[in-house]
Amino acid sequence: MFTLYTAPTPNGWKVSIALEELELDYDVVPINLLGGEQQTDEYVRLNPNGKIPTLVDHERDDLVIFESGAILLYLAEKTGRLMPSEPAARSEVVQWLMFQMGNLGPMMGQANVFFRYFPEKIPAAIERYHREGRRLMEVLDRRLEGREFLCGEYSIADIANWSWAHTYKWSGIDVSGLENLKRWRKTLRERPAVEKGRSVPIRLTEESVDATAFSKAARSVLS
């Protein structure tokens, strides 16, 4: 049994999708990011970085794991699923997981800040992160040429990258002409566990996002 502290963001979706794919039992504790619940003393005792998600494994003396990539690795290694055991194949999955952690996520996150949330538009910053976001989408598209999934079999690398890549519209990133990426996005979106996992803790749509509130939150963080 697990407890997942999460919010409706790509990093949160990564873990809830993996839990659903692995058919593991878990309780959800929603974290109100705009309300600052991730910075409370109680939560920071679990996650020193004050971010989501955080996972608690009650089967292992309430072991706490934070950082979404670390959580995905933990779940894959605990269950022996969503990641191959053969060293070369395992390394490949880890590499593409790190691609998302170190590249796709941070760059799209910055695109979100400057394109959506920053109180004043800075065209040079928007263009920089849109250009880099497009480049990273092209990397994924090339990788998916002739492949159904990023590393042969469906893995945590797909879950991690999809959770960010499928939000390209919100980031304002152009993905036109990237047919391999389009096919892969559709393949994952149609998986029942992906559909269920990305509705945790709530189903978030562009229409449900309060852009004004996000702008205020971004201003407080960036000032």
Instruction: Give the domains, in start order, of the chain with CATH numbers.
Output: 2-81 (3.40.30.10), 87-196 (1.20.1050.10)
Q: Above pLDDT 90, what percent of the chain?
A: 90
Q: What's the whole-number mean pLDDT along residues 190-205?
A: 93
Q: What's the whole-number mean pLDDT along residues 191-214?
A: 76
Determine the pLDDT at residue 90: 98
Determine the pLDDT at residue 206: 54
Distance CA 151, CA 21 (A): 17
Instruction: To the nearest 10°, report the CA torsion of 23, 25, 30, 36.
Output: -100
Determine the pLDDT at residue 205: 64
Compare 223 and 95 and report the one with higher pLDDT.
95
Q: Could you give the 3-state DSSP secondary structure of residue 64?
A: strand
Confidence of residue 26 (pLDDT cuts 50, 70, 90): very high
For residues 90 and 39, is the Cβ–Cβ distance under 8 A? no
Distance CA 51, CA 39 (A): 8
Question: 135-152 in b/e burial notation, b at 16+ Cβ within 10 A?
Answer: ebbebbbebbeeeebbbe
pLDDT in tens, 50-80: 999 999 999 999 999 999 999 999 999 999 9
Determine the pLDDT at residue 198: 97
Q: What is the pTM of this model?
A: 0.92
Distance CA 6, CA 9 (A): 8
Residue 115: count of CB within 10 angstroms of its CB: 21
Q: What's the whole-number mean pLDDT along residues 172-178?
A: 98
Distance CA 104, CA 187 (A): 19
Q: Could you give the 3-state DSSP secondary structure of residue 166?
A: coil
pLDDT in tens, 110-147: 999 999 998 999 999 999 999 999 999 999 999 999 99
The enclosing H or E element of 107 equals helix 105-112
